[in-house]
């Protein structure tokens, strides 16, 4: 089951988010229940400080447990900023941070070392490529 809770005034296509999740989990042969929370800058800063000790806004956080359940928290305002910063579009950046969060829930960790970071980046780019049709249908 995939649940999406948009706690912001910024609109995001819930079906798009669910399809991205399904594509990644299917390719990884994983079946996880997942909750996606779309939050504002204040809330994600609080979570980042509480759980990672970093008092700053970030674009995505991922929380998992041993039962195969997970939650991905995304700050839509940061996603919009990323789109401008990287000369991209909102949908591509939204898919990118969602995929990034899913990969963390599946055990990938880019902060571990350079090899792990490269492996995670390659997987992220691979899944972003798989999602291009979905992204283009929204742009």
Q: What's the confidence (pLDDT) of residue 118?
A: 92
Q: Answer yes or no: is pLDDT of 75 > 90.
A: yes
Q: Which residues are annotated as a binding site?
A: 100, 104, 110
The model's confidence at residue 33, banded by pLDDT at 50, 70 and 90, is confident
CA distance 35 to 3: 5
CA distance 33 to 89: 28
Q: Which residues are annotated as a binding site for Zn(2+)?
A: 100, 104, 110
Share of the chain above pLDDT 70, in %: 97
CA distance 77 to 70: 22
* pLDDT tens per residue across span 42-74: 999 999 999 999 999 999 999 987 676 789 999
Selected residue with higher pLDDT from 135 and 101: 101
Where do the domains of the chain lie, and which CATH numbers do they carry? 2-138 (3.40.390.30)
Q: What's the confidence (pLDDT) of residue 24?
A: 93
């Amino acid at each position: 089951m995939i649940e999406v809770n948009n706690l912001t005034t910024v609109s995001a296509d819930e079906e798009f988010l669910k399809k991205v999740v399904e594509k990644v989990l299917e390719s990884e042969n994983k079946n996880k229940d997942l909750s996606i929370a779309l939050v504002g800058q204040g809330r994600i800063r609080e979570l980042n400080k509480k759980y990672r000790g970093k008092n700053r806004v970030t674009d995505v956080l991922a929380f998992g447990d041993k039962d195969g359940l997970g939650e991905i928290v995304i700050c839509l305002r940061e996603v919009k900023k990323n789109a401008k910063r990287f000369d991209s579009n909102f949908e591509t950046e939204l898919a990118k941070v969602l995929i990034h969060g899913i990969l963390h829930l599946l055990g990938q960790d880019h902060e571990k070392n350079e090899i792990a970071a490269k492996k995670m980046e390659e997987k992220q780019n691979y899944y972003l490529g798989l999602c291009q049709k979905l992204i283009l249908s929204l742009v």
